[in-house]
Amino acid sequence: MSAPIPTPNPPPDLKARLKESYNAIAEAYKDWTALHNVLRTHYTEELCRFLRRDRSRTTNGGGTPPPPGEAGISLARLHALELGCGCGIPVIEMLLAKEMDVIGVDLSSAQVQLTKNHFPTQIQNTQLVVVEKDIMDLTYPPDEFDVVVALYSLIHLPRDEQRVIMERVQRWLKPGGMILMNFSTTEMEGEVVESWLEQDGGWMYWSAWGKEKTLEMIRELNFNVLLEEVKEDEGTDASFVWVIAQKTGPPAEFAPFEEP
């Protein structure tokens, strides 16, 4: 992989370039992520565990939740949104298996087609809707979703857009709704790699607020952080903080971050 290039100001055609890149490397990215799906699978299961416990409390009028391994609480008909769904595996696959109704969104037409190829039956019966769109162009009414997942996707947005999309996600979630997201632990205004995954056409951009500022942002939006764990991606030197959090009320007023 080529060396990262500090890029504090993203190019004006950022989204078009990301779309072009993910279209070009869609198959290579699918194969690469298949080797690194352990964390995605683990934390999606953790999300489902928290959802079952929350449903048990609601159903039982605040009674004792089931033990962590209890799988008897149904998650059927929960409404889930994945931002940056890629090929749909493993996250959409797992949510569909729990009988949730899912919307998957991706900027890349090639990634969207891979997802459609994986789940034709669920698309036909409308359990799954797949949308090709920049996530910043999404519009949903308040209190629409029970779950929003974003793994390795928000890091492709400029940092100011990351704050905006988090505010929108907070509004889109129902009271008590949950997020599963991950973020780079390292703060960076922006970086570009010209040939990510050693692929021609693999131009890529990332930015991040870092662990502490990201968690501060999430808590300012009136999320109760249920889980935060730092993991290094297998086969890379990149560390991410994995977050599961629950919406507890309307968002607080954002205080601006102090730039370094």
| Assigned domain for 138 exists | yes
Confidence of residue 253 (pLDDT cuts 50, 70, 90): low
Q: What is the mean pLDDT of the chain?
A: 91
Q: Taking each helix axis as running N to C, give the angle between helix 211-220 and helix 159-172, from 0 to 180 degrees, rounded to the nearest 10.
A: 30
Model confidence over 104-116: pLDDT tens digits? Answer: 999 999 999 999 9
Split into its structural domains, the chain has a count of 1
Q: Is residue 78 part of a domain?
A: yes
Question: With 80 as the cut, is the pLDDT of residue 258 above it?
Answer: no
**Residue 62: inside a domain, yes or no?**
no
248, pLDDT greater than 60? yes
Distance CA 157, CA 103 (A): 20
Predicted TM-score of the model (pTM): 0.92
Structural domain containing residue 41: 5-48+74-247
Spatial separation of the C-alpha atoms in residues 28 and 124, rounded to whole Å: 27
Tell me what pLDDT residue 175 has: 96
Distance CA 25, CA 20 (A): 9
The separation between CA 195 and the C-alpha centre of its own chain, rounded to angstroms, equals 23
Q: What are the residues facing 209 on neighbouring strands?
A: 187
pLDDT range class, residue 163, cuts 50, 70, 90: very high
Rg (CA), the chain: 18
Question: Does residue 258 form part of some domain?
Answer: no
- Confirm whether 66 is domain-assigned: no
Q: Residues 88-106: pLDDT tens digits?
A: 999 999 999 999 999 999 9
- Residue 116 counted as domain residue: yes
**Domain containing residue 237: CATH number:** 3.40.50.150
CB 112 within 8 A of CB 135: no
